[in-house]
Amino acid sequence: MKKLSEPQVFFAPPLNKKDSGGYSGYVIINESHISCHTFPYRLFVSIDVYTCSNEMDKEFIIKFFKDTFQLKETEINFIKRGTRFPSQDLVSFSQRGLILGVKEHTYKAKKPAKIAKSAK
């Protein structure tokens, strides 16, 4: 997974008796995103690692979050996505600027940073 943005974390104030507030955060990765919603007064965290990459190391990710949040119980749902993703580009090079809304020569992507494979 390649990180495209720095993590963004926000405090979510209490909304009602069921939602006593917590912190939510996300990071954009090359393949999609990772989001985390914490409910500290309920000792609960919900984490989504959303990617269409076939090279995801599920065991590493599970261990990372178990260790980071000292989880005693987990509920893991794996959903394979992107199963109908085209095997090649369907838009010609000359049409790309029209779709992106920019001229090809003016678009410069930043080099993505890598997410370290070490926990903590």
AA identity, residue 118: S
Write out the DSSP string of 56-97.
--HHHHHHHHHHHHT-S----------TT--SS--S-GGGHH
Confirm whether 32 is a catalytic residue. yes
Token representation of residue 75: 């509920």
CB 57 within 8 A of CB 115: no
Confirm whether 46 is a catalytic residue. no
CB 65 within 8 A of CB 46: no
Contacts of 68 (CB under 8 A, 6+ apart): 119, 120
Confirm whether 53 is a catalytic residue. no
Annotated catalytic residue within 32, 33, 35, 53: 32
Annotated catalytic residue within 20, 24, 35, 37: 37
Catalytic residues: 32, 37, 52
